Amino acid sequence: MKKIIAVWIFLLILFGSILGGGYKQVNASQETIAKKIIRFHVIANSDTIEDQALKLKVRDEVLKYISPKLKKSSSIEESRKIIRDSDECIKKVAQKVIREKKYNYKAETILSHENFPVKSYGNITLPEGEYEAYRIIIGNGKGHNWWCVMFPPLCFTDITKGEVAYKETEREMKQTLTPQEYELVNNSDSDLKEDDEIIVKFKFMEVAKKIRKKIQGN
């Protein structure tokens, strides 16, 4: 019996060592990634066709205003300052679009830390967790949101086609994240195509992290 226990302890230690090396970057991956980016969300009043179309129009006009400013930013601190300094102007841009489209919705803006599920934007998939985000909430804010990343400035979209500039996205993220962090969020070379499969990928990493912590705790 003692020999069996000893074997199990050895295997647990070995497994813990493997996890400690192979998943060391996972241990703080979401947290370290979150410290390096600012997300951007435009949240629709509802999921009606009209409200979703309004959301995209607000997005278009806000990006026209803020993107040139953010492209010049070289750090998350600078981007945060630009966003805060531009907040009132952004709100006016959003409200102008809403009025022109004959709606009475109020546009609220806030830079805060929020919990988000797994989300994909082009060739980038961010794991669930807490992130700093600049949000424009239209009306009741009960509809689906459109999102991108303000820092690094990934909001390089062809507004007429709704296309993500993959090469720009890859370059900006590689300049901001470590190779291990970029590998975690990069989905361009992955066989994972469905959201459910992507979620399973991150859930596996979370389970591995918990197992390693449990082993270390024992």
DSSP annotation string for 30-61: HHHHHTT-EEEEEE-S-SSHHHHHHHHHHHHH
Within 8 A by CB and 6+ apart from 214, the residues are none
Segments making up each domain of the chain, as ranges:
29-185
Q: Looking at residue 146, what is its pLDDT?
A: 95
Range list of β-strands (E), the chain: 38-43, 107-116, 119-121, 124-126, 129-138, 145-151, 157-158, 163-164
> Measuring CA to CA, how many Å separate 176 from each of 53, 56, 181?
32, 27, 9
Check: CB of residue 117 under 8 Å from CB of residue 95: no
> If the chain, 218 residues long, is cut into consecutive pieces of 10 residues, what is the mean pLDDT of each piece?
47 44 51 95 97 97 94 94 97 98 97 94 90 98 95 78 77 91 81 49 51 54
176's CB contacts (< 8 A; 6+ apart) are 36, 37, 151, 152
Instruction: Provide the whole-model pTM.
Output: 0.76
